[in-house]
């Protein structure tokens, strides 16, 4: 799926100038559409005054594969990455300044059945349900894996590019298996990954042990080297309740240096939020009072990067719980109704003034105006807004 770089750069000159658009939001929907059975990506613009979300004229576009389940935006906001679980593909879209998406590249992921993606300034991380082994199938599952692909800097004629997957020298392959060390559990147990996030120079993967009756949860922590190679943080994996479903981190920035402070995980089985402080080595220590009460089946979590608030989508309660965070410790603020079955959550990157959820069974995206002073939410004008059926993920870029 290639288009000319010149055409992409020319498209970037088109913008929504003269409007009150503050952000563009991309919502993937898993429901197959069209003769190719691809999923869809709805593209919305957010009004900076009312928060009203409306689809842009070019919306929706095909996701480039079947069952898109996760997405991430490059740190320079030029590129959207979407993983399609059923096709084992990662699709790269160039983002025009008017919010339009232009498919640029499609690759197969190093593992089997991708379910998560995260980015740093120079690397892309892909989380796969299974390692790429001939013995791994849905009937005979094996543990998941994580892979790293370098990002090639954009030029005056070419957009951001993807390099070849980084080699794991310990196994000679292009993936890092998610196996328990014998000091913690049985290395042969099937470890099911659920989420991935990057903060500072550390990569964190949420997963659970499907072999045990308790479905014990873990967070695998890695340092990311200059080449992209991963090295386990001492003490990893760290205990994480039961079936952690989502991850989000607080960090501070000084110039180009990002220092991660706190990590949060939604515990989908225990209906809790797990909170950790992050040490200078990337190790995790439970925060005071953790775990914190959440709603039923918390499915997604986001830490506001500008203010000390954390928001959790509770998938079977059809709501979002807001928390304030003092030295990382969470205190519940209030709970707000969403559309049916929220499974993904995000905060607008332009002003950090709007919060939104993808409501899987409702076929909607809900959004609120966020108070920077107390973290409370007020439903935005026109919310919820219809999407294609079964929305699965959200990501956003600032306008201009």
At residue 15, does pLDDT exceed 90?
no
In the sheet that holds 89-95, the strands lie side by side as: 68-73, 79-84, 89-95, 101-108
8 φ, ψ (degrees, to nearest 5): -65, -45
pLDDT at 259: 78
State the pTM of this model: 0.92
At residue 16, does pLDDT exceed 60?
no
Query: How far is it, in rounded angstroms, from Cα 290 to Cα 241?
Result: 10
Long-range contacts of the stretch 276-282 (C-beta < 8 A, 24+): 276/219, 276/238, 277/328, 278/199, 278/200, 278/202, 278/249, 281/233, 281/234, 282/200, 282/201, 282/202, 282/221, 282/222, 282/223, 282/233
DSSP percent split of the chain into helix, strand, coil, nearest 5: 0, 55, 45
Query: How far is it, in rounded angstroms, from Cα 97 to Cα 343?
Result: 28
Average pLDDT over all residues of the chain? 91
Per-residue confidence at 137, pLDDT binned at 50, 70, 90?
confident
Contact present, 120 and 198 (Cβ < 8 Å): yes
According to DSSP H, which parts of the chain are helical?
A: 5-11
Q: Tens of pLDDT along 318-372?
A: 999 999 999 999 999 999 999 999 999 999 998 889 999 999 999 999 999 999 9
Q: Tens of pLDDT along 206-263?
A: 999 999 988 999 999 999 999 999 999 999 999 999 999 999 998 876 666 777 799 9
Q: Tens of pLDDT along 57-96?
A: 999 999 999 999 999 999 999 999 999 999 999 999 999 9
pLDDT at 359: 97
Contact present, 34 and 365 (Cβ < 8 Å): no
At residue 174, does pLDDT exceed 70?
yes
pLDDT at 255: 67
């Amino acid at each position: 799926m290639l288009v000319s770089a010149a055409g992409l750069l020319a498209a970037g000159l088109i913008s929504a100038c003269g409007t009150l658009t503050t952000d563009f939001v991309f919502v993937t929907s898993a429901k197959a559409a069209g003769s190719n059975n691809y999923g869809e990506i709805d593209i919305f613009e957010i009004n900076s005054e009312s928060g009203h979300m409306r689809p842009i004229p070019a919306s929706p576009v095909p996701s480039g594969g079947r069952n898109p389940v996760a997405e991430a935006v490059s740190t320079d906001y030029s590129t959207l990455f979407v993983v399609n679980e059923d096709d084992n593909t990662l699709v790269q879209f160039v983002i025009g300044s008017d919010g339009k998406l232009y498919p640029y590249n499609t690759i197969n992921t190093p593992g089997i059945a991708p379910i998560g993606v995260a980015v740093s300034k120079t690397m892309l991380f892909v989380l796969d349900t299974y390692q790429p082994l001939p013995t791994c199938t849905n009937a005979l599952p094996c543990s998941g894996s994580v892979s790293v692909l370098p990002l090639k800097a954009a030029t005056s004629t070419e957009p951001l590019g993807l390099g070849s997957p980084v080699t794991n020298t310990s196994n000679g392959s292009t993936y890092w298996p998610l196996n328990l060390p014998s000091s913690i559990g049985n290395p042969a147990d099937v470890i099911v990954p659920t989420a991935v996030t990057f903060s500072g120079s550390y990569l964190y993967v949420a997963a659970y042990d499907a072999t045990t009756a308790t479905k014990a949860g873990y967070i695998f922590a890695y340092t990311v080297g200059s080449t992209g190679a991963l090295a386990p943080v001492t003490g990893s994996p760290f205990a994480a309740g039961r079936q952690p479903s989502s991850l989000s981190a607080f960090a501070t920035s000084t110039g180009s240096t990002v220092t991660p402070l706190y990590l949060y995980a939604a515990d989908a089985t225990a209906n809790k939020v797990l909170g950790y402080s992050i040490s200078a080595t990337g190790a995790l220590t439970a925060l005071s009072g953790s775990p914190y009460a959440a709603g039923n089946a918390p499915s997604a979590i986001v830490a506001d990067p500008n203010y000390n608030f954390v928001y959790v989508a509770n998938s079977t309660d059809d709501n979002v719980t807001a928390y304030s965070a003092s030295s990382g410790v969470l205190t519940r603020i209030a709970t707000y109704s969403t559309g049916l079955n929220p499974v993904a959550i995000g905060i607008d990157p332009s002003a950090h003034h709007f919060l939104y959820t993808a409501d899987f069974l409702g076929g909607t995206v809900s959004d609120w105006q966020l108070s920077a002073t107390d973290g409370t939410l007020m439903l935005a004008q026109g919310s919820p807004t219809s999407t294609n059926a079964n929305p699965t993920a959200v990501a956003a870029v600032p306008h201009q």
